[in-house]
Amino acid sequence: EAGVAQSPRYKIIEKRQSVAFWCNPISGHATLYWYQQILGQGPKLLIQFQNNGVVDDSQLPKDRFSAERLKGVDSTLKIQPAKLEDSAVYLCASSLGRGSINEKLFFGSGTQLSVL
Amino acid sequence: RKEVEQDPGPFNVPEGATVAFNCTYSNSASQSFFWYRQDCRKEPKLLMSVYSSGNEDGRFTAQLNRASQYISLLIRDSKLSDSATYLCVVNYRDSSYKLIFGSGTRLLVRP
């Protein structure tokens, strides 16, 4: 079974530039998550989609970050403009999304972003 | 106070040792609990769920203490391949299910 696909694997940009990340979840998974993981910290949820609707975006810095999940499958996360503190690994994850409290997440390999 | 707290370590142990990690959580409404493993520069992967009655998977044993709001992970007979960061994860229901990750405990197993 194919896992969660993310691209690009690495991205280096200068501050104030824009960047976009792409994620393709596991087929049939209704819930998609974007996490930000800063070095030495645990993953922090940025946004959670259920199909193509946003369930939780309370920790998304909406002045610069945006995300969409058109047609309830692929998703893109955009940062515009980037700041130095956005340097992190951006992880996409998916789960079946059946409302189980034991929902298990499957992560992609992540995109490592360096803002110079 | 952080929602999920872990000792960052590193725990440096010899092969064959037994090592235990604890994790505390602040939200008493938390409903499910997990340990994820993250290798260096890799994505987190589910290690095991944590049940109220405690559960064991080979050399790994997880325990939950709801009264004290902590979770533990015990690794017996440590292997070099156990070297990784272990993330404690707590799930609670607000308007939706929220999975909160701890910062992780780093384990180094030496020959």
Q: Which residue has the tokens 């050399």?
A: B59
Tell me if B103 and A105 make a contact (CB, 8 A cut-off). Answer: no
Full DSSP string of A10-49: EEEE-TT--EEEEEE--TT--EEEEEEE-TTS--EEEEEE
Residue A75 to residue A66: CA distance in whole angstroms: 11
Contact A86, A63 (CB under 8 A): no
* CB-closest option in B43, B46, B96 to A104: B46
What is the rounded CA–CA span in Å between residue A88 and residue A43?
A: 10
pLDDT of residue A66: 97
Q: Taking a C-beta distance cutoff of 8 angstroms, is the pair B95, B44 a contact?
A: no
Do A101 and B32 make contact, defined as CB atoms within 8 angstroms? yes
What does the mean pLDDT of chain A come to? 93
Judged by CB atoms closer than 8 Å, whether chains meet at B103 and A91 is answered as no
What's residue B28's pLDDT? 83
The stretch A18-27 carries a mean pLDDT of 96
Contact state of B103 with A40 under an 8 Å Cβ cutoff = yes
Tens of pLDDT along A86-101? 999 999 999 987 767 7
Calculate mean pLDDT across residues B30-40.
Answer: 92
**Which of B8, B45, B97 shows the shortest C-beta gap to A101?**
B97
Query: How many angstroms separate the CA atoms of B33 and B4, rounded?
Result: 11
**Measured over all CA atoms, what is the biggest interatomic distance in chain A, rounded to whole angstroms?**
41
d(CA A29, CA A104): 11
Count Cβ atoms within 10 A of the Cβ of residue B30 and give its class: 0-12 exposed, 13-18 middle, 19 or more buried.
buried
Question: What confidence tens digit (pLDDT) does each residue in A29-85 have?
Answer: 999 999 999 999 999 999 999 988 998 999 999 999 999 998 889 999 999 999 999
Contacts of A110 in chain B (CB under 8 A): 43
- Chains A, B: CB contacts within 8 A come to 53
